[in-house]
Amino acid sequence: MSTEIQPYQVEFDEYLRDESRSVGHADSISFPKNEDELIEIVRKLSKTEIPVTVQGARTGLAAAAVPYGGHLINIGRMTRILGARYDEQDNRFFLTAEPGVLLSQLRKAVSSGEFEIAEPDDLTQAALCRYKAGEWFFSPDPTEASAALAGMVACNASGARSFCYGPVRPYVEALRLVLVDGRTLHIRRGEQKAKGRDFCLNLDDGSYIIGKLPDYAMPKVKNASGYYIEEDMDLIDLFIGGEGTLGIITQIELRLLPMPKAVWGITTFFPDEKSALRFVRGLRGEKEATGVEFSVKPAAIEFFNHKALDLLRIQKQKIAAFAHIQELKATYYNAVYTEFHADSEEKVWEMVEQMNQMLEALGVSPEDTWVANNPRDMEKLLVFRHAVPESVNMLIDQRRQKDPAITKLGTDMAVPDQYLDKIMDMYNGEIQTNGLDYVAFGHIGDNHLHVNILPRDMEDYRKGKALYLQWANAVSAMGGTVSAEHGVGKLKAPFLAVMMTDAGIEQMRALKAVFDPQGHLNPGNMFTMKKEGDA
């Protein structure tokens, strides 16, 4: 039944869209329940000319999982955790999961130690004996916990804590994949590497794929745009952040980290933007920003600008779920959230005291801080942080009632450290010049803000779109990226073209062609296979 390729019917409408709210179309759909079924479906399709779009939980913001014709494979029924492994020598814990396991499901299993593995092998049993709930965690923390693991791997997702721990990439230890022609491959980190820019990838059936890597240099910032390329790279990294264009992920082995003993979150409110930015730079260890030495790396540095706080103040009056957020004093202009992890409360307190010195140097009152040092209070700060994007979505939904063509225009760009002030001036200045409504929030530690333009009408929408493209150019010129975590998908392909130039896109096409000569797998993601001007 579930290897069945079902013709498309209206009851499948929800599978035609993702959280970008773009809607596509499909001719057929399937819901494989395990790897064998998925392989069988792909093999059937490989004998046809039908393009295939793979989708995870459809929380993507760039329409990467939205099909534009052809067949749709939804992996939402492949949701088992399959095994575990403990590496005693390096004290590392690994979990193997099917691609459709949701982040929320993984988190629950990791925190409770209840993995519900149906047929544990010997390694798994041995590992589970060593497992203690509360001692491990999965560090990637994208805000949307209903994302599927494969979606996160395909987009190289990140979260607030990626400032310290990095994106999903380093936590992917092994992948199983099926290529568009039905061949399969099991790739483990460290086992298959490129030689310079040449690679030879061994597949399960003894065949191999030979190719050349693009020679573009990747931006030296947090990045989720375009194929990850480096000389002598580990070939597993081609598939992480590949947006499903090279192969379909059927199994993922993830690495967990030992849980820090002390986790504190602090939200600090600033009277103006300049002092907030100096604080951020200070937290990154740039002593000249505050005059105070700050020697530890925070787990997270997040920012909420004045417009974000203003919006929250309004929504707090209207939405019951936000009513429990502590009072935002009128003097609070914007906020920086910092998270500290350490192996004792005392060590965290030392960090807090250092941070406090910075606040004093900036003339910011240590009274204007919210400190959470236990899971209950951390939850309160999380509600506050998530309330900002949720408020944005509610506002947009309201405006869409007047004009359904309006959508939020959310950026996901990052630039190198030295451009922090410049990029903020650019965002604020150009928004003001254009008379647009907006909020900005996000991962300021990595100079990675989500500027959300909130169009009031189609005129605003058009202006916003133009601005967005203008920013893509500016950010690319600074050596930054057009998408640092959400991926390019279909919606941001024009921006990737700006960032990569024609030559870069052409090289990416050539790399994809080695795996998928017809361009049948996830067509339209990042780039189209046909060059512009082709029939």
Partner 1 sequence: MKIIVCVKQVPATNEVKMDPVTNTIIREGVESILNPFDTYAIEEAIRIKEKQGAQITALSMGIPSVVTLLQEAVSLGVDDAILLSDRAFAGADTMATAYTLQLGVESIGDYDLILCGKMATDGDTAQVGPMLAEVLGIPQITDVGEILEIGTDFILCRRMTDDGYETVKSKLPAVITVTKEINIPRLPSIAGMKRGKAAKVPVMTSKDFQLEAERIGLSGSPTQVVRTFIPSHDIASEVLTGSPTEQAEALIEKLREQKLLNW
CA-to-CA separations, 46 to 8, 30, 469, in angstroms, rounded: 19, 15, 37
Q: Does 339 bind ligand FAD (CB under 6 A)?
A: no
- Please check whether residue 240 is in contact with residue 156, taking contact to mean a CB–CB distance below 8 angstroms: yes
In the complex, least distance from residue 325 CB atom to ligand FAD, rounded to whole angstroms? 18
In the complex, least distance from residue 245 CB atom to ligand FAD, rounded to whole angstroms? 8
DSSP 121-133: -HHHHHHHHH--T
CA–CA distance, 336 with 132 (Å, rounded to integer)? 34
The one among 24, 32, 60, 265 contacting ligand FAD by CB under 6 A = 60
In the complex, least distance from residue 353 CB atom to partner 1, rounded to whole angstroms? 8
> What tokens does 470 get?
């203008």
152 makes contact, choosing from partner 1, ligand FAD, none, with CB < 5 to 8 Å by partner type, with: ligand FAD
Q: Does 186 bind partner 1 (CB under 8 A)?
A: no
Q: Does 325 bind partner 1 (CB under 8 A)?
A: yes
Footprint on residues 96-125 left by ligand FAD (CB under 6 A): 99
Nearer to partner 1, 47 or 132 (CB): 132
Q: Does 445 bind ligand FAD (CB under 6 A)?
A: no
Bridge-based pairing of strands 262-270 and 136-137 is unpaired
CA 78 to chain CA centroid, Å, is 21
Bridge-based pairing of strands 92-97 and 248-258 is antiparallel
212 makes contact, choosing from ligand FAD, partner 1, none, with CB < 5 to 8 Å by partner type, with: none
Q: Does 458 bind partner 1 (CB under 8 A)?
A: no
Bridge-based pairing of strands 300-304 and 334-342 is antiparallel
Footprint on residues 70-89 left by ligand FAD (CB under 6 A): 75
Q: Does 496 bind ligand FAD (CB under 6 A)?
A: no
Q: Does 158 bind ligand FAD (CB under 6 A)?
A: yes
From the list 28-36, 139-147, 341-349, 368-376, the region that binds ligand FAD by CB under 6 A is 139-147
- Please check whether residue 167 is in contact with residue 139, taking contact to mean a CB–CB distance below 8 angstroms: no
Q: Does 262 bind partner 1 (CB under 8 A)?
A: no
Q: Does 324 bind partner 1 (CB under 8 A)?
A: yes
Residue with tokens 């490129």: 194
359 makes contact, choosing from ligand FAD, partner 1, none, with CB < 5 to 8 Å by partner type, with: partner 1
Query: Which own/partner contact pairs does 364-372 have at CB distance under 8 Å and 24+ positions apart?
Result: 364/268, 364/270, 364/271, 364/275, 364/279, 368/268, 368/269, 368/270, 368/329, 368/331, 368/332, 369/266, 369/267, 369/268, 369/269, 370/266, 370/267, 370/326, 371/264, 371/265, 371/266, 372/264, 372/265, 372/266
DSSP 3-70: T--EEP-GGGGGGGB-TT--B-B-SEEE--SSHHHHHHHHHHHHTSS--EEEESSS--SSSTT--BSS
- Give the residue among 453, 443, 452, 385 at the shortest CA–CA distance from 415: 443
Bridge-based pairing of strands 92-97 and 136-137 is unpaired
Q: Does 317 bind partner 1 (CB under 8 A)?
A: no
Nearer to partner 1, 381 or 491 (CB): 381
Q: Which residues is 266 bridged to in the sheet? A: 338, 371
The one among 39, 42, 61, 488 contacting ligand FAD by CB under 6 A = 61
Pattern 240-279, binding to ligand FAD, x per CB under 6 A?
---xx---xx------------------------------
Footprint on residues 356-385 left by partner 1 (CB under 8 A): 356, 359, 365-372, 374, 376-377, 380-381
> What tokens does 74 get?
């939804």
In the complex, least distance from residue 247 CB atom to partner 1, rounded to whole angstroms? 32
Q: Which one-letter DSSP state was computed for residue 244? A: T
The one among 485, 496, 507, 515 contacting ligand FAD by CB under 6 A = 485
Q: Does 439 bind ligand FAD (CB under 6 A)?
A: no
Q: Does 323 bind partner 1 (CB under 8 A)?
A: yes
Nearer to ligand FAD, 59 or 391 (CB): 59
From the list 142-150, 279-287, 305-313, 331-339, the region that binds ligand FAD by CB under 6 A is 142-150
Q: Does 326 bind partner 1 (CB under 8 A)?
A: yes
Q: Does 482 bind ligand FAD (CB under 6 A)?
A: no
371 makes contact, choosing from ligand FAD, partner 1, none, with CB < 5 to 8 Å by partner type, with: partner 1
CA–CA distance, 180 with 25 (Å, rounded to integer)? 20
**Close Cβ partners of 75 (under 8 Å, ≥ 6 residues apart):** 32, 38, 54, 55, 56, 98, 99, 100, 148, 150
CA–CA distance, 439 with 426 (Å, rounded to integer)? 14
> What tokens does 348 get?
């965290």
Bridge-based pairing of strands 28-30 and 71-74 is parallel
Q: Does 522 bind ligand FAD (CB under 6 A)?
A: yes
From the list 115-123, 366-374, 481-489, 501-509, the region that binds ligand FAD by CB under 6 A is 481-489
248 makes contact, choosing from partner 1, ligand FAD, none, with CB < 5 to 8 Å by partner type, with: ligand FAD
Binding site for ligand FAD (CB under 6 A): 18-19, 54-61, 64-65, 75, 99, 142-144, 147-148, 150-152, 154-155, 157-159, 243-244, 248-249, 389, 485-487, 522, 525
Given the rule CB under 8 A, which residues bind partner 1? Answer: 11, 266, 323-327, 352, 355-356, 359, 365-372, 374, 376-377, 380-381
